[in-house]
Amino acid sequence: MRIVAGAFRGRALKSPKWEGLRPTSDRLRETLFNILGPSIQGASVLDGFAGTGAIGIEALSRGAARVVFVERDPRAVQLIEANLAPLLASDRPKPVIIRAGFAEAVRRLAGEVFDVIVLDPPYAEHAAAEALEAALPLVSHGAATRLIIEHGTRHTPPAGHSGVRLTRTVTAGDSALSFYER
């Protein structure tokens, strides 16, 4: 795994040495950030179900002002820290890592606003719908928050929930990115 573009382009990221963690492929990350385009510059980004931290680190590389990583597995939290360590200059705001399940992290983040929320829950049948519902308190009513959920193509993404609607789905292999907006 490598950082695809931006200030840290080409830097290698450490991968998990255990089963059960499925890092987002370089190709799918590139697709995601090509769609987001320049809107990532200066953005506040939440990387939920962060795993290796590749999504949030890619956002930092491309100019995000702030990134919050959410991950409950302590091994993955250590992996995110290891991947971040060589990339961050002391003059840059440090990313926040919340070690908790996603629903608990949302409770802790109540009232915070994010421009971009990227969620990569396990590829299970109802995981995308559950992640969408859990993230709703973080989707701003006044600003244009973009919410993206990565899921398996074999599972149909939810059409929306509580005023958040599906606007686009792109696929790459057996993975898909579904984009939601209020």
What pLDDT was estimated at residue 134?
Answer: 93
Range of the structural domain that residue 75 is part of: 26-181
Best CA proximity match to 47, nearest among 37, 61, 92, 38:
61
Please state the domain count of the chain: 1
In a domain, 157, yes or no: yes
In a domain, 130, yes or no: yes
Cα–Cα distance for residue pair 27/2, rounded to 1 Å: 10
In a domain, 74, yes or no: yes
CATH value at residue 62:
3.40.50.150
In a domain, 20, yes or no: no
Instruction: Please state the pTM of the whole predicted model.
Output: 0.91
Write the pLDDT tens digit of every residue in 90-102: 566 789 999 999 9
What's the helix, strand, coil split of the chain in %, to 5? 30, 25, 45
Write the pLDDT tens digit of every residue in 35-69: 999 999 999 999 999 999 999 999 999 999 999 99
Give, in order, the Cα–Cα distances in Å from 19 to each of 3, 22, 23, 174. 22, 8, 11, 18
Residue 74 has pLDDT above 90, yes or no: yes
CA 57 to the chain's CA centroid: 9
